Amino acid sequence: MKKEYHFPTQADLDAVDLSWKRYLLPAIHPEGVKILAAIFGIFLALDFVLKIIGLLFDIYMPSAWWIGLPFFIFSFYFFRNPPRVTPKGNHLIIAPADGIVSNIKEMVPPKELDLGNMPLIRISIFMSVFSVHVNRSPVSGTVHALKYCPGKFVSVADKDSEDNERQLISIDATNGQRIGVIQIAGLIARRIFCPLTVGEKLKAGHVFGMIRFGSRLDVYLPKGVYPKVLLGQVAVAGETVLAEMPEADQKKGI
């Protein structure tokens, strides 16, 4: 049966923001808003203290905002949550993070993901401090299992260490396949935000969490599913297709 394509309506076209605001004033993740408010409060108080010291001792004290403003702007940039348009198809596995595809290899997945004890292809996406750190669901489906593991301040660029703070997520996709996603915090700071619960419904491309200041996302593909990305390729969360699974009407299996 031939699939029909529904062309965008005028309302769809009007909803696409092509103005400068899309690039210079992106939305901010709610976790970022809290931190930005804290940063603003800290430097506001510090600037006030410096002015009091200057008045008491009759000396010139520079404004704290000479440091505070650049730091605030960088933090705003770091916690940005730009709009993304996710490709349609329940058989697609979409990149959950922005960054560089830093590794593609076969690995036995952690037992907490409930993906079996045979090696599966793992795609790693490395996020620098300049990447968007908001994470998006790679598939539509249901959260099968969750496991949080505290860790140390260790680099995540090119190693398979279990010393890092990490959040393990297992998702049953709507086509019957199961995939694994691991958020791994990095060297500069270790703080993973993942409010998911077991049984929660996810939609491909929707935000499910974030990692702060340099980190990595690992995706374990189902058996028999192969990457469509290459080592060194730039991945865009919610848009780049990592792999294609069997269609929903084919034989299901985990």
Residue-by-residue pLDDT tens, the chain, 254 positions: 556 777 878 887 777 777 777 777 778 888 888 888 999 999 999 999 999 998 888 888 888 889 888 888 888 888 889 889 999 999 999 999 999 999 999 999 999 999 999 999 999 999 988 888 899 999 999 999 999 988 765 555 545 556 788 999 999 999 899 999 999 987 655 588 999 999 999 999 999 999 876 689 999 999 999 999 999 999 999 999 999 998 754 444 44
DSSP code for 227: B
Residue with tokens 């000396």: 59
Query: Of 53, 83, 113, which closes a domain?
Result: 83
Query: Of 65, 83, 101, which residue constitutes the final position of a domain?
Result: 83
Contact of 99 with 67, CB cutoff 8 Å? no
The confidence score (pLDDT) of residue 187 equals 63
The answer on 180 and 146 residing in a single domain is yes
Q: Do residues 130 and 213 both lie within one domain?
A: yes
Whether 65 and 100 share a structural domain? no
Residues 254, 177 contacting (CB under 8 angstroms): yes
Asked if 171 contacts 178 with a C-beta cutoff of 8 angstroms, the reply is: yes
* Residue 221 CA from chain centroid, whole number: 17
- What separation in angstroms does the CA of 14 have from each of 8, 17, 57, 158? 10, 8, 59, 43
pLDDT score for 1: 52
* Dist. CA 141–CA 214, nearest whole Å: 27
The pLDDT value recorded for residue 189 is: 55
Q: Does residue 249 sit within a domain?
A: no
Does residue 35 share a domain with residue 99? no
pLDDT of residue 190: 55
Backbone angles phi, psi at 201, to 5 degrees: -85, 135
- Predicted confidence at residue 31, as pLDDT, reads 83
- Cα–chain-centroid distance for residue 24? 20
Q: Are 177 and 94 in contact (CB under 8 A)?
A: no
The total number of structural domains in the chain stands at: 2
252 occurs within a structural domain:
no
Q: Which of 51, 79, 74, 100 is nearest to 236 (CA)?
A: 100
Residues 231 and 144 in one domain: yes
> Which residues are annotated as catalytic?
215
Residue 57 corresponds to which tokens in the numbers above? 């001792």
pTM of the model: 0.83
Q: What is the CATH number of the domain that holds 102?
A: 2.70.70.10
Beta-carbon contacts of residue 83 (< 8 Å; ≥ 6 apart) = 17, 22, 26, 27
Supply the pLDDT for residue 250.
46
Look at the alpha carbons of 191, 195, 201, 204 in this order and tell me if their dihedral is positive or negative. Answer: negative
Q: Mark whether 77 and 113 lie in a shared domain.
A: no
Query: In terms of domains, do 60 and 182 share one?
Result: no
pLDDT value for 229: 96
Parent domain of 183: 92-244
Determine the 3-state secondary structure of 145 from DSSP: strand
Report the amino acid identity of residue 240: T
> Token pair of 225, please?
């599913």
> Of the candidates 140, 151, 131, which has an alpha carbon nearest to the alpha carbon of residue 217?
131
100 and 138 housed in the same domain: yes
Domain stops at, among 60, 83, 106: 83
